[in-house]
Amino acid sequence: MAGNTFGTLFKVTTFGESHGGTVGCVIDGCPAGITLNEEMIQIDLDRRRPGQSDITTPRKEEDIVHIESGVFEGKTTGTPLCLVVQNKDAHSSDYDHLKNIFRPSHADYTYQKKYGIRDTRGGGRASARETVARVAAGSVARIYLNTITGIEIVAFVERVQNIVGNIDIHTVSIKDVDKTPVRCPDGVAAEQMISLIKKTGEEGDSLGGVIRCILRNVPVGLGEPVFDRLSAKLGQAMLSIPATKGFEIGSGFSGTYLTGRTHNDEFYTDKNGNIRTHTNNSGGVQGGISNGEIIDFRVAFKPTSTIRKEQKTVTTDGKETLLNAHGRHDPCVLPRAVPIVEAMAALTIMDYYLLQKIYG
Protein backbone atom coordinates (compact mmCIF):
# COMPACT_ATOMS: atom_id res chain seq x y z
CA MET A 1 0.00 0.00 0.00
CA ALA A 2 2.62 2.53 1.03
CA GLY A 3 4.38 1.95 -2.24
CA ASN A 4 7.71 0.37 -1.37
CA THR A 5 6.92 -3.05 -2.80
CA PHE A 6 7.08 -4.07 -6.44
CA GLY A 7 5.83 -7.34 -7.86
CA THR A 8 3.45 -9.95 -6.58
CA LEU A 9 5.21 -13.27 -7.02
CA PHE A 10 8.79 -12.01 -7.09
CA LYS A 11 8.02 -9.36 -4.52
CA VAL A 12 10.66 -6.73 -3.83
CA THR A 13 10.41 -4.34 -0.90
CA THR A 14 13.07 -1.64 -0.69
CA PHE A 15 14.16 0.44 2.27
CA GLY A 16 16.75 3.02 3.16
CA GLU A 17 17.56 6.68 2.82
CA SER A 18 20.39 8.43 1.07
CA HIS A 19 22.26 9.15 4.28
CA GLY A 20 20.92 6.46 6.63
CA GLY A 21 22.86 3.37 7.63
CA THR A 22 21.98 1.15 4.70
CA VAL A 23 19.86 0.87 1.61
CA GLY A 24 18.56 -2.52 0.68
CA CYS A 25 15.71 -4.77 -0.21
CA VAL A 26 13.90 -7.92 0.76
CA ILE A 27 12.91 -10.25 -2.05
CA ASP A 28 10.10 -12.61 -1.20
CA GLY A 29 9.27 -15.27 -3.75
CA CYS A 30 12.64 -16.00 -5.32
CA PRO A 31 12.57 -19.64 -6.44
CA ALA A 32 14.83 -22.03 -4.52
CA GLY A 33 17.92 -23.68 -5.89
CA ILE A 34 19.32 -20.77 -7.93
CA THR A 35 23.08 -20.21 -7.64
CA LEU A 36 23.55 -16.76 -6.14
CA ASN A 37 26.41 -14.91 -4.54
CA GLU A 38 27.44 -11.36 -3.90
CA GLU A 39 29.90 -11.15 -6.78
CA MET A 40 27.11 -11.87 -9.24
CA ILE A 41 25.00 -9.00 -7.95
CA GLN A 42 27.97 -6.67 -7.63
CA ILE A 43 28.40 -6.61 -11.42
CA ASP A 44 25.14 -4.72 -11.87
CA LEU A 45 25.72 -2.46 -8.89
CA ASP A 46 29.07 -1.42 -10.30
CA ARG A 47 27.33 -0.27 -13.45
CA ARG A 48 25.07 2.03 -11.39
CA ARG A 49 27.79 3.21 -8.98
CA PRO A 50 28.70 6.90 -8.84
CA GLY A 51 32.21 7.94 -9.72
CA GLN A 52 32.68 5.46 -12.54
CA SER A 53 33.64 8.04 -15.17
CA ASP A 54 34.35 11.72 -15.64
CA ILE A 55 30.80 12.47 -16.79
CA THR A 56 29.19 11.20 -13.62
CA THR A 57 29.21 12.54 -10.08
CA PRO A 58 32.62 12.41 -8.39
CA ARG A 59 30.96 10.97 -5.26
CA LYS A 60 32.74 7.76 -4.33
CA GLU A 61 30.25 5.14 -3.30
CA GLU A 62 31.61 1.64 -3.39
CA ASP A 63 28.18 0.12 -2.93
CA ILE A 64 29.25 -3.32 -1.81
CA VAL A 65 26.27 -5.62 -1.54
CA HIS A 66 25.82 -8.11 1.28
CA ILE A 67 23.36 -11.02 1.27
CA GLU A 68 21.87 -11.21 4.77
CA SER A 69 19.49 -14.10 4.30
CA GLY A 70 17.92 -16.57 1.93
CA VAL A 71 21.08 -18.24 0.61
CA PHE A 72 22.56 -21.47 1.96
CA GLU A 73 25.71 -23.03 0.59
CA GLY A 74 25.60 -20.78 -2.47
CA LYS A 75 22.02 -21.41 -3.48
CA THR A 76 18.72 -19.65 -2.84
CA THR A 77 16.51 -21.51 -0.37
CA GLY A 78 13.11 -20.09 -1.33
CA THR A 79 13.05 -17.95 1.81
CA PRO A 80 13.36 -14.15 1.75
CA LEU A 81 16.56 -12.68 0.41
CA CYS A 82 17.72 -9.59 2.22
CA LEU A 83 20.32 -7.59 0.30
CA VAL A 84 21.97 -4.57 1.91
CA VAL A 85 24.48 -1.93 0.88
CA GLN A 86 26.12 0.26 3.46
CA ASN A 87 26.10 4.01 2.92
CA LYS A 88 29.73 5.09 3.07
CA ASP A 89 30.70 8.38 1.38
CA ALA A 90 27.75 10.27 2.82
CA HIS A 91 28.59 13.95 3.25
CA SER A 92 25.47 14.83 5.19
CA SER A 93 26.90 18.24 5.97
CA ASP A 94 26.70 19.04 2.26
CA TYR A 95 23.00 19.30 2.82
CA ASP A 96 22.90 21.50 5.90
CA HIS A 97 22.30 24.60 3.80
CA LEU A 98 19.26 22.89 2.23
CA LYS A 99 17.56 21.96 5.46
CA ASN A 100 15.12 24.83 5.36
CA ILE A 101 14.78 25.23 1.61
CA PHE A 102 12.60 23.48 -0.94
CA ARG A 103 14.78 22.69 -3.97
CA PRO A 104 12.87 23.27 -7.24
CA SER A 105 11.64 20.14 -9.01
CA HIS A 106 12.83 17.94 -6.14
CA ALA A 107 10.59 16.07 -3.72
CA ASP A 108 11.43 18.26 -0.73
CA TYR A 109 8.16 20.16 -0.74
CA THR A 110 5.86 17.22 -1.45
CA TYR A 111 7.47 14.96 1.18
CA GLN A 112 7.28 17.72 3.76
CA LYS A 113 3.59 18.30 3.05
CA LYS A 114 2.67 14.63 2.76
CA TYR A 115 4.42 13.36 5.87
CA GLY A 116 4.82 16.52 7.96
CA ILE A 117 8.50 15.56 8.31
CA ARG A 118 11.33 14.70 5.93
CA ASP A 119 14.84 13.41 6.13
CA THR A 120 16.74 16.45 4.91
CA ARG A 121 20.02 14.64 4.31
CA GLY A 122 20.61 14.20 0.58
CA GLY A 123 17.01 13.83 -0.44
CA GLY A 124 16.38 11.09 2.12
CA ARG A 125 14.14 8.43 0.71
CA ALA A 126 13.46 10.49 -2.43
CA SER A 127 17.14 10.34 -3.39
CA ALA A 128 18.07 8.31 -6.43
CA ARG A 129 20.25 6.38 -4.01
CA GLU A 130 17.14 4.30 -3.34
CA THR A 131 17.66 2.76 -6.78
CA VAL A 132 20.69 0.85 -5.46
CA ALA A 133 18.20 -1.58 -3.98
CA ARG A 134 16.31 -1.86 -7.25
CA VAL A 135 19.46 -2.69 -9.15
CA ALA A 136 20.38 -5.36 -6.60
CA ALA A 137 16.93 -6.91 -6.80
CA GLY A 138 16.86 -6.65 -10.57
CA SER A 139 20.17 -8.42 -10.66
CA VAL A 140 18.70 -11.43 -8.87
CA ALA A 141 15.81 -11.46 -11.34
CA ARG A 142 18.24 -11.27 -14.23
CA ILE A 143 20.34 -14.11 -12.81
CA TYR A 144 17.23 -16.26 -12.61
CA LEU A 145 16.10 -15.33 -16.13
CA ASN A 146 19.60 -16.02 -17.47
CA THR A 147 19.69 -19.38 -15.72
CA ILE A 148 16.27 -20.60 -16.72
CA THR A 149 15.34 -18.71 -19.90
CA GLY A 150 17.05 -17.11 -22.89
CA ILE A 151 15.54 -13.68 -22.23
CA GLU A 152 17.98 -10.81 -22.88
CA ILE A 153 17.49 -7.32 -21.50
CA VAL A 154 19.57 -4.48 -22.93
CA ALA A 155 18.98 -0.78 -22.32
CA PHE A 156 21.00 2.08 -23.74
CA VAL A 157 21.03 5.85 -24.03
CA GLU A 158 19.37 6.62 -27.34
CA ARG A 159 19.23 10.37 -27.06
CA VAL A 160 20.77 13.11 -24.92
CA GLN A 161 18.92 16.37 -25.51
CA ASN A 162 18.97 16.50 -29.33
CA ILE A 163 21.83 14.09 -30.03
CA VAL A 164 20.41 10.78 -31.23
CA GLY A 165 22.23 7.48 -31.48
CA ASN A 166 21.44 4.99 -34.21
CA ILE A 167 21.48 1.45 -32.84
CA ASP A 168 20.60 -2.00 -34.21
CA ILE A 169 18.20 -3.41 -31.64
CA HIS A 170 18.54 -6.95 -32.95
CA THR A 171 22.20 -7.21 -32.05
CA VAL A 172 23.04 -4.61 -29.40
CA SER A 173 24.60 -6.14 -26.26
CA ILE A 174 25.43 -4.88 -22.78
CA LYS A 175 29.06 -5.10 -23.77
CA ASP A 176 28.41 -2.71 -26.67
CA VAL A 177 26.54 -0.37 -24.37
CA ASP A 178 29.27 -0.29 -21.76
CA LYS A 179 31.99 0.57 -24.28
CA THR A 180 31.47 4.28 -23.66
CA PRO A 181 30.80 5.98 -20.32
CA VAL A 182 27.63 7.57 -21.72
CA ARG A 183 26.20 4.09 -22.52
CA CYS A 184 25.22 4.95 -26.07
CA PRO A 185 26.46 2.15 -28.33
CA ASP A 186 26.65 4.46 -31.37
CA GLY A 187 30.26 5.63 -31.07
CA VAL A 188 29.86 8.84 -33.03
CA ALA A 189 26.79 10.00 -31.16
CA ALA A 190 28.42 8.89 -27.90
CA GLU A 191 31.34 11.25 -28.46
CA GLN A 192 28.97 14.14 -29.08
CA MET A 193 26.91 13.28 -26.04
CA ILE A 194 29.98 13.15 -23.82
CA SER A 195 31.17 16.54 -25.05
CA LEU A 196 27.75 18.06 -24.50
CA ILE A 197 27.42 16.60 -21.01
CA LYS A 198 30.86 17.85 -19.98
CA LYS A 199 30.22 21.32 -21.36
CA THR A 200 26.78 21.54 -19.75
CA GLY A 201 28.11 20.27 -16.46
CA GLU A 202 30.86 22.87 -16.45
CA GLU A 203 28.21 25.53 -16.98
CA GLY A 204 26.36 24.25 -13.93
CA ASP A 205 23.39 23.18 -15.99
CA SER A 206 21.97 19.72 -16.75
CA LEU A 207 20.51 17.56 -19.52
CA GLY A 208 17.81 15.00 -20.12
CA GLY A 209 17.10 12.48 -22.84
CA VAL A 210 15.73 9.10 -23.71
CA ILE A 211 16.72 5.56 -22.72
CA ARG A 212 15.52 2.77 -24.96
CA CYS A 213 15.18 -0.76 -23.66
CA ILE A 214 15.09 -3.97 -25.65
CA LEU A 215 13.92 -7.39 -24.44
CA ARG A 216 14.71 -10.26 -26.74
CA ASN A 217 13.50 -13.87 -26.58
CA VAL A 218 10.57 -13.13 -24.31
CA PRO A 219 8.15 -16.03 -24.78
CA VAL A 220 4.63 -15.42 -26.10
CA GLY A 221 2.04 -15.10 -23.38
CA LEU A 222 3.48 -12.85 -20.66
CA GLY A 223 1.17 -10.16 -19.33
CA GLU A 224 -2.19 -10.18 -17.58
CA PRO A 225 -5.15 -8.38 -19.10
CA VAL A 226 -6.86 -6.13 -18.42
CA PHE A 227 -5.27 -3.81 -15.86
CA ASP A 228 -1.94 -5.58 -15.60
CA ARG A 229 -1.12 -5.58 -19.28
CA LEU A 230 2.58 -6.13 -19.75
CA SER A 231 2.82 -2.70 -21.36
CA ALA A 232 1.00 -1.08 -18.44
CA LYS A 233 3.21 -2.66 -15.79
CA LEU A 234 6.35 -1.83 -17.73
CA GLY A 235 5.00 1.71 -17.82
CA GLN A 236 4.51 1.77 -14.06
CA ALA A 237 7.93 0.22 -13.50
CA MET A 238 9.70 2.81 -15.62
CA LEU A 239 7.70 5.80 -14.40
CA SER A 240 8.59 4.81 -10.84
CA ILE A 241 12.24 5.62 -11.57
CA PRO A 242 13.23 9.09 -10.35
CA ALA A 243 13.35 11.83 -13.04
CA THR A 244 11.16 10.00 -15.57
CA LYS A 245 8.45 11.94 -17.41
CA GLY A 246 7.30 9.61 -20.15
CA PHE A 247 7.05 6.06 -21.45
CA GLU A 248 6.17 4.70 -24.85
CA ILE A 249 6.16 1.22 -26.32
CA GLY A 250 6.62 0.25 -29.96
CA SER A 251 5.52 3.05 -32.22
CA GLY A 252 4.56 5.11 -29.18
CA PHE A 253 3.68 8.75 -29.70
CA SER A 254 5.02 8.79 -33.25
CA GLY A 255 2.71 5.93 -34.20
CA THR A 256 -0.24 8.26 -33.67
CA TYR A 257 0.67 10.01 -36.92
CA LEU A 258 0.17 6.82 -38.95
CA THR A 259 -3.06 5.27 -40.16
CA GLY A 260 -4.19 1.77 -39.28
CA ARG A 261 -3.12 0.48 -42.64
CA THR A 262 0.53 1.40 -42.10
CA HIS A 263 0.52 0.85 -38.34
CA ASN A 264 -0.93 -2.66 -38.17
CA ASP A 265 1.65 -5.44 -37.81
CA GLU A 266 0.76 -8.04 -40.42
CA PHE A 267 1.34 -11.68 -39.49
CA TYR A 268 3.33 -14.29 -41.39
CA THR A 269 4.69 -17.73 -40.62
CA ASP A 270 8.47 -17.99 -40.59
CA LYS A 271 10.52 -20.91 -41.85
CA ASN A 272 10.48 -22.49 -38.39
CA GLY A 273 6.72 -22.45 -38.40
CA ASN A 274 6.49 -19.63 -35.89
CA ILE A 275 3.87 -16.95 -36.30
CA ARG A 276 5.62 -13.61 -36.55
CA THR A 277 4.87 -10.03 -37.56
CA HIS A 278 6.51 -8.17 -40.47
CA THR A 279 6.67 -4.90 -38.54
CA ASN A 280 6.77 -4.31 -34.80
CA ASN A 281 4.78 -1.17 -34.16
CA SER A 282 3.21 -3.08 -31.29
CA GLY A 283 6.60 -3.19 -29.55
CA GLY A 284 6.25 -6.88 -28.77
CA VAL A 285 3.00 -6.56 -26.82
CA GLN A 286 -0.53 -7.04 -28.22
CA GLY A 287 -3.62 -6.82 -26.05
CA GLY A 288 -1.25 -6.48 -23.09
CA ILE A 289 0.43 -9.84 -23.74
CA SER A 290 3.87 -10.47 -25.23
CA ASN A 291 3.70 -11.76 -28.82
CA GLY A 292 7.23 -13.12 -29.17
CA GLU A 293 8.62 -10.11 -31.04
CA ILE A 294 11.24 -7.85 -29.49
CA ILE A 295 9.80 -5.84 -26.62
CA ASP A 296 10.89 -2.31 -27.34
CA PHE A 297 10.15 0.74 -25.21
CA ARG A 298 11.50 4.18 -24.44
CA VAL A 299 11.68 6.20 -21.23
CA ALA A 300 11.97 9.99 -21.06
CA PHE A 301 14.26 11.41 -18.37
CA LYS A 302 14.05 15.10 -17.53
CA PRO A 303 17.23 17.15 -17.05
CA THR A 304 18.72 16.62 -13.57
CA SER A 305 16.99 18.89 -11.06
CA THR A 306 20.13 19.73 -9.15
CA ILE A 307 22.01 22.47 -10.99
CA ARG A 308 24.63 24.96 -9.89
CA LYS A 309 22.81 27.95 -11.36
CA GLU A 310 21.04 30.35 -9.02
CA GLN A 311 17.32 29.60 -8.71
CA LYS A 312 14.36 31.27 -7.08
CA THR A 313 12.60 29.22 -4.44
CA VAL A 314 11.04 29.41 -0.98
CA THR A 315 12.05 28.38 2.51
CA THR A 316 10.12 25.80 4.46
CA ASP A 317 8.13 28.61 6.04
CA GLY A 318 7.25 30.05 2.67
CA LYS A 319 9.67 32.98 2.42
CA GLU A 320 11.06 33.61 -1.02
CA THR A 321 14.81 33.12 -1.34
CA LEU A 322 17.58 32.27 -3.78
CA LEU A 323 19.17 28.84 -3.95
CA ASN A 324 22.77 28.37 -4.95
CA ALA A 325 23.22 24.63 -4.75
CA HIS A 326 26.54 22.92 -4.61
CA GLY A 327 27.03 19.23 -3.91
CA ARG A 328 28.18 16.50 -6.27
CA HIS A 329 25.65 15.55 -8.92
CA ASP A 330 25.41 14.08 -12.38
CA PRO A 331 24.78 16.71 -15.05
CA CYS A 332 22.93 13.95 -16.92
CA VAL A 333 21.48 10.94 -15.12
CA LEU A 334 20.96 8.80 -18.19
CA PRO A 335 24.24 6.81 -18.28
CA ARG A 336 23.77 5.61 -14.71
CA ALA A 337 20.02 5.12 -15.22
CA VAL A 338 20.62 2.45 -17.87
CA PRO A 339 21.11 -0.37 -15.32
CA ILE A 340 18.11 0.92 -13.36
CA VAL A 341 15.88 0.66 -16.42
CA GLU A 342 17.19 -2.85 -17.01
CA ALA A 343 16.58 -3.76 -13.38
CA MET A 344 12.97 -2.60 -13.44
CA ALA A 345 12.44 -4.42 -16.74
CA ALA A 346 13.89 -7.58 -15.22
CA LEU A 347 11.64 -7.30 -12.15
CA THR A 348 8.57 -6.81 -14.30
CA ILE A 349 9.31 -9.71 -16.62
CA MET A 350 10.28 -11.97 -13.74
CA ASP A 351 6.90 -11.59 -12.12
CA TYR A 352 5.02 -12.40 -15.31
CA TYR A 353 7.35 -15.24 -16.15
CA LEU A 354 6.68 -16.92 -12.81
CA LEU A 355 2.97 -16.30 -13.13
CA GLN A 356 2.89 -17.89 -16.56
CA LYS A 357 4.37 -21.06 -15.06
CA ILE A 358 0.98 -21.60 -13.48
CA TYR A 359 -1.19 -20.95 -16.44
CA GLY A 360 1.12 -21.67 -19.38
The answer to whether 110 contacts a second copy (rule: CB under 8 A) is yes
- Binding positions for a second copy, 179-208, rule CB under 8 A: 200, 205-208
Contact pattern for a second copy over residues 301 through 330, marking x by CB under 8 A: xxxxxxx-x-xxxx---xxx----------
In Å, the largest CA–CA distance within the chain is 70
Taking the complex as a whole, the smallest distance from the CB of residue 175 to a second copy amounts, in Å, to: 26
Task: Select the residue interacting with a second copy from 122, 138, 165, 235 (CB under 8 A).
Answer: 235
Specify whether the CB–CB gap between 37 and 71 falls below 8 A: yes
Specify whether the CB–CB gap between 14 and 133 falls below 8 A: yes
- Binding positions for a second copy, 243-272, rule CB under 8 A: 244-253, 255-261, 263-269
Task: Select the residue interacting with a second copy from 42, 56, 139, 290 (CB under 8 A).
Answer: 290
d(CA 300, CA 336): 14
Task: CB nearer to a second copy: give 180 or 291.
Answer: 291
Taking the complex as a whole, the smallest distance from the CB of residue 225 to a second copy amounts, in Å, to: 6
Taking the complex as a whole, the smallest distance from the CB of residue 289 to a second copy amounts, in Å, to: 4
d(CA 343, CA 113): 30
DSSP code per residue over 283-342: TTEETTEE-SSPEEEEEEEPPPS--SS-EEEEBTTS-EEEE---S---SB-HHHHHHHHH
Size of the site for a second copy (CB under 8 A): 150
Taking the complex as a whole, the smallest distance from the CB of residue 115 to a second copy amounts, in Å, to: 4
Task: CB nearer to a second copy: give 136 or 174.
Answer: 136
Burial class (CB in 10 A: 0-12, 13-18, 19+), 324: exposed
Spell out where 43-190 has E strands: 65-69, 71-72, 75-76, 81-86, 152-160, 163-164
Task: Select the residue interacting with a second copy from 29, 51, 181, 327 (CB under 8 A).
Answer: 29
- The stretch near a second copy (CB under 8 A) out of 63-71, 135-143, 147-155, 179-187 is 63-71
Residue 80's alpha-carbon distances to 5, 74, 146, 237, in angstroms, are 14, 15, 20, 22
The answer to whether 336 contacts a second copy (rule: CB under 8 A) is no
